[in-house]
């Protein structure tokens, strides 16, 4: 394994997450699938309800602090894991948090939104059910705050920015260290891919470490071609932030959207049930469950020989009811 890339330890960062997250064997799930499976528990990052956004926020909010921000503005859907964790992290750092959510206020509100309010976040709805309406809402809110003499820091949906990706560049090094310690040489690392920042960071980190595993993203939000382009663009942006060069291999993304974004799939529900029954592992029905659903198919087809590492990116708030991250 190569040394950590120059610049990563020196990037502005605040320590929020409980790291490293565990890498756990899943023997009963492995027996059920007929393929060796390990789980990287990024649902246990320790900010809010946990999840992958905590790693990104360490660098995003580190950048915000270095810039002198007194507020953060971000957004997503009413059930977003990202907005819940951002609100919790902002509260820990004493920053105001404004959340822009698409659509209208749902009744009842999803757990993630209730927790964001509990953490003190201000919440505004765009009244438009197009997810892209959040971007314009964030921009206008930032402009309004600046006119009032504030210093707001803009975080795009899902924290999927070049700076946010640094959290998963770091995670790739962490994973390689854990694999070496366990004597594991995984064939494949599988994860849910939504706003694409997690896979982009891992792709860059894997290139920098010389990792031999195949990285397979399961799209739960966007068309596969759009994901591949976003992942490449974000990874190259993160490399530019770090001042490093890396050759990215083919970006692998498979379609796991099923009946639509934010809607559970039959295969995902079956996978979530299997994970819960065999390992007591709870998966978000519209994110991680859809990613887990590819494992039986890959095992049956021989596409993944094992061991396979499943990156559990969290989202347990989504288990409490409907909502789109």
Cite the active site residues. Answer: 80
Contact 190/216 with Cβ under 8 angstroms? yes
Q: Which of 83, 165, 91, 96 is nearest to 131 (CA)?
A: 83
Q: Where would I find the H helices in 157-265?
A: 162-182, 197-209, 224-242
Q: Which of 146, 160, 148, 155 is nearest to 121 (CA)?
A: 155
Within 13 Å and on the Cβ side, how many CA atoms surround 40? 30
Rounded to 5 degrees, what are φ and ψ at 88? -65, -45
- Give the span between the Cα atoms of 214 and 203, in whole angstroms: 10
- For 203, residues 6+ apart whose C-beta sits below 8 A from its C-beta are 215, 231, 235, 248, 249, 251
Rounded to 5 degrees, what are φ and ψ at 122? -85, 135
Helix (H) or strand (E) holding 125: strand 122-125
- Please state, as a whole number, how many other Cβ atoms lie within 10 Å of the Cβ of residue 181: 9
- Give the span between the Cα atoms of 241 and 305, in whole angstroms: 35
Q: Rounded to an integer, what is the distance from CA 269 to the centroid of its chain? A: 20
Contact 195/165 with Cβ under 8 angstroms? no
* Measured CA distances, 134 to 80, 141, 148, 157, 247 (Å): 12, 10, 21, 8, 33
């Amino acid at each position: 394994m190569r040394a950590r890339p120059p610049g990563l330890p020196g990037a502005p960062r605040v320590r929020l997450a409980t790291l490293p997250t565990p890498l756990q064997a899943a023997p009963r799930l492995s027996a059920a699938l007929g393929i060796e499976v390990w789980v990287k528990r990024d649902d246990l990052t320790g900010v809010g309800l946990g999840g992958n956004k905590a790693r990104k926020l360490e660098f995003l909010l580190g950048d915000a602090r270095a810039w002198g921000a007194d507020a953060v503005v971000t957004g997503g859907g009413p059930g977003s894991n990202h907005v819940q964790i951002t609100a919790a992290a902002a509260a820990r750092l004493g920053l105001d948090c404004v959340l822009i959510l698409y659509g209208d206020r749902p009744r009842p509100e999803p757990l993630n939104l209730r927790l964001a309010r509990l953490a003190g976040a201000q919440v505004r709805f765009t009244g438009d059910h197009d997810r892209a309406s959040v971007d314009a809402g964030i921009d206008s809110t930032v402009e309004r705050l600046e006119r009032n003499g504030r210093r707001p820091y803009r975080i795009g949906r899902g924290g999927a920015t070049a700076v946010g990706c640094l959290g998963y560049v770091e995670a790739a090094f962490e994973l390689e260290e854990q694999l070496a310690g366990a004597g594991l040489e995984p064939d494949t690392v599988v994860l849910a891919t939504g706003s694409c920042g997690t896979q982009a960071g891992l792709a860059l980190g894997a290139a920098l470490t010389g990792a031999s595993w195949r990285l397979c993203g399961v799209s739960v939000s966007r068309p596969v071609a759009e994901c591949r382009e976003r992942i490449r663009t974000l990874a190259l942006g993160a490399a530019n932030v770090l001042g490093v060069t890396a050759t990215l291999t083919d970006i692998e993304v498979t379609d796991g959207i099923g009946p639509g974004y934010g809607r559970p799939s039959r295969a995902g529900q079956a996978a979530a049930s299997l994970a819960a029954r065999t390992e007591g592992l709870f998966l978000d029905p519209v994110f991680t469950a859809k990613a887990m659903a590819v494992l039986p198919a890959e095992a049956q087809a021989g596409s993944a020989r094992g061991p396979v590492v499943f990156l559990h990116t969290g989202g347990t708030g989504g288990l409490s009811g409907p909502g789109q991250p």
